[in-house]
């Protein structure tokens, strides 16, 4: 497990426990067994992180459902054995993270199926619309659900967006500046002419943000007609969800970014029960 993840998990525990779980300190010092159960169907994600939380407090964990497994109601995901204080003081932190990641994976799986039913070449991508401190976990959950990671941080790839253009003043100039220093870069465009220009100037990815499917289809077909389509990957983003994702997939694009997967998370219903 990455050191950054371990550090984050420890911080999550400290946030919840504070100076000590004063309720669990009232209990007898005894060893107990517990299990984490799914109350609904879905895709489980974050199992290793939940395990690490308990193990860090001297508990033993047996994983019964690995990341990516499909859950049914009342499935046991893992069992935990250890001091009562340790198990109960870790309970909420482990459940919160496991529930969030499993909720993201479950939603991603659903959306990926909608996309693939219409366009087998297109993939769902995560965005940077994540809660601070949770990005590495959110991105991994998307991947567990069958999606793909976009850039995790700003240093991974150049992405020229509308506010960069507002500062630069010239889309062509900032594209050429990017091309001099980077092999790969993405450009957000607002119309057909800019899409053609970006493809000709060597953009790796063209992002079509808040552009309706009908207009995206026109852009795709124009790039095909001009012999430019194979030079670039085309991404759609903005206002895409289950109600319209198939319409975007049908346009023949390569990438569909859906920020709501990580910005509006509905966690999977899980619980910890002491045996």
Pairing of strands 205-209, 123-125: unpaired
From the list 116, 129, 179, 260, the catalytic residue is 129
SS3 60: strand
pLDDT of residue 168: 85
Domain with CATH 3.20.20.70 in the chain: 120-263
Angle of helix 84-116 relative to helix 47-55, nearest 10 degrees, comes to 170
Distance CA 164, CA 161 (A): 5
> Could you tell me the pTM of the whole model?
0.94
Say whether 129 is catalytic: yes
Residues 6+ apart with CB under 8 A from 208: 188, 189, 195, 215, 216, 219, 234, 235, 236, 237, 253
Only one residue has tokens 């799986």, namely 109
Nearest to 80 by CA among 95, 68, 69: 95
pLDDT of residue 1: 72
Nearest to 41 by CA among 133, 107, 85, 132: 107
Specify the CATH number of the domain 120-263.
Answer: 3.20.20.70
Q: Cβ atoms within 10 A of the Cβ of 72, count?
A: 9
* Surface-to-core class of residue 230, CB atoms within 10 Å of its CB (0-12 exposed, 13-18 middle, 19+ buried): exposed
Tokens read off for 114: 């909608």
Q: Is domain 3-112+265-274 given the CATH code 2.30.290.10 in the classification?
A: no
Residues 6+ apart with CB under 8 A from 154: none
Domain with CATH 3.90.1170.20 in the chain: 3-112+265-274
CB 236 within 8 A of CB 2: no
pLDDT digits (tens, 9 = 90+) for 135-186: 999 999 999 999 998 888 889 899 999 899 889 889 999 999 999 999 999 9
Residues 6+ apart with CB under 8 A from 224: none
Tokens read off for 207: 């992002």
* Surface-to-core class of residue 248, CB atoms within 10 Å of its CB (0-12 exposed, 13-18 middle, 19+ buried): buried
Angle 255-240-44 from CA coordinates, rounded to 5°: 75
pLDDT digits (tens, 9 = 90+) for 63-84: 999 999 999 999 999 999 999 9
CB 82 within 8 A of CB 38: no
Residues of the chain with pLDDT under 50: none
pLDDT of residue 165: 86
């Amino acid at each position: 497990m990455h050191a950054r993840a371990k550090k984050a998990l420890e911080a999550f525990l400290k946030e919840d426990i504070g100076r000590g779980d004063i309720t669990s300190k009232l209990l007898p010092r005894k060893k107990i067994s517990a299990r984490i159960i799914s109350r609904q169907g879905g895709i489980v994600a974050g199992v290793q992180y939940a395990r690490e939380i308990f193990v860090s407090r001297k508990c033993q964990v047996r994983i019964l459902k690995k990341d990516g497994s499909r859950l049914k109601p009342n499935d046991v995901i893992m069992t935990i054995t250890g001091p009562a204080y340790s198990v109960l003081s870790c309970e909420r932190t482990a459940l919160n993270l496991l529930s969030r990641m499993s909720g993201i994976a479950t939603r991603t799986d659903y959306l990926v199926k909608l996309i693939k039913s219409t366009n087998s070449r297109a993939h769902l991508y995560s965005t940077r619309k994540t809660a601070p401190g949770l990005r590495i976990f959110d991105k991994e959950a998307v991947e567990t659900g069958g999606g793909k990671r976009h850039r995790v941080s700003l240093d991974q790839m150049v992405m020229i967006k509308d506010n960069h253009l507002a500062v630069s003043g010239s889309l062509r100039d900032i594209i050429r500046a990017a091309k001099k220093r980077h092999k790969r870069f993405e450009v957000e465009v607002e119309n057909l002419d800019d899409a053609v220009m970006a493809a000709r100037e060597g953009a790796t990815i063209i992002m079509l943000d808040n552009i309706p499917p009908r207009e995206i289809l026109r852009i795709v077909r124009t790039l095909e007609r001009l012999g430019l389509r194979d030079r670039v990957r085309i991404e759609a983003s903005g206002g895409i969800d289950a109600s319209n994702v198939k319409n975007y997939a049908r346009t023949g694009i390569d990438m569909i970014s859906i920020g709501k997967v990580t910005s509006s998370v509905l966690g999977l219903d899980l619980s910890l029960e002491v045996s």
